[in-house]
Amino acid sequence: MIEVLEKLTAKQIFQQELSKRGKLIKKYLINHYFKKLLGPKDILDGSLSYPSSMGKALRPGILLFSCGAVGGDEKIAIPAAAGVEISHTWTLVHDDIIDNDDIRRGKPSVHHQFYKLAKTRGYSDKEASEYGRNIAILVGDVQHSWTVSLFMDMYKKYKLDPALVLEIINELEVGVIPKLIEGETFDIQYEREKINKLKKEQIIDMSAKKTGQLYSSSAKIGAMIGLKNTDFKHPIILALSNFCFNCGVAFQLQDDILGLISKESKFGKPIGSDIREGKRTTIFWFAYQNANRQEKQQLIKLIGDKKAKENEIKKAINLLIRLKGIEETQRLALQYIHKAKNYLKVVPDSFYKELLVSWANFMVERKI
- For a pLDDT cut of 90, what percent of the chain falls above it? 84
More confident residue, 4 or 335: 335
Q: What angle do CA 140, 144, 149 make, to 5 degrees?
A: 140
Question: What pLDDT sits at residue 54?
Answer: 78
Reported confidence tier of residue 269, pLDDT bands at 50, 70, 90: low
Reported confidence tier of residue 225, pLDDT bands at 50, 70, 90: very high
Mean pLDDT value across residues 148-176: 96
Reported confidence tier of residue 7, pLDDT bands at 50, 70, 90: low
Mean pLDDT value across residues 194-199: 95
Reported confidence tier of residue 367, pLDDT bands at 50, 70, 90: low
Mean pLDDT value across residues 98-111: 91
Please give the CATH number for the structural domain made up of 175-360.
1.10.600.10
Count CB atoms within 10 A of the CB of residue 20: 12
Instruction: Tell me how many helices (H) and strands (E) the chain has.
Output: 19, 2
Rounded Cα distance, 141 and 135, in Å: 10
More confident residue, 10 or 265: 10
pLDDT for 43-84, tens place per residue? 999 999 999 887 789 999 999 999 999 999 999 999 999 999
Rounded Cα distance, 238 and 233, in Å: 6
Decide: 249 and 263 in contact? Cβ < 8 Å.
no
Mean pLDDT value across residues 186-209: 95
Please give the CATH number for the structural domain made up of 10-157.
1.10.600.10
Count CB atoms within 10 A of the CB of residue 272: 18
Q: For residue 341, which of 253, 252, 242, 251 has the smallest C-alpha distance?
A: 242
pTM of the model: 0.92
List where CATH 1.10.600.10 sits in the chain. Answer: 10-157, 175-360
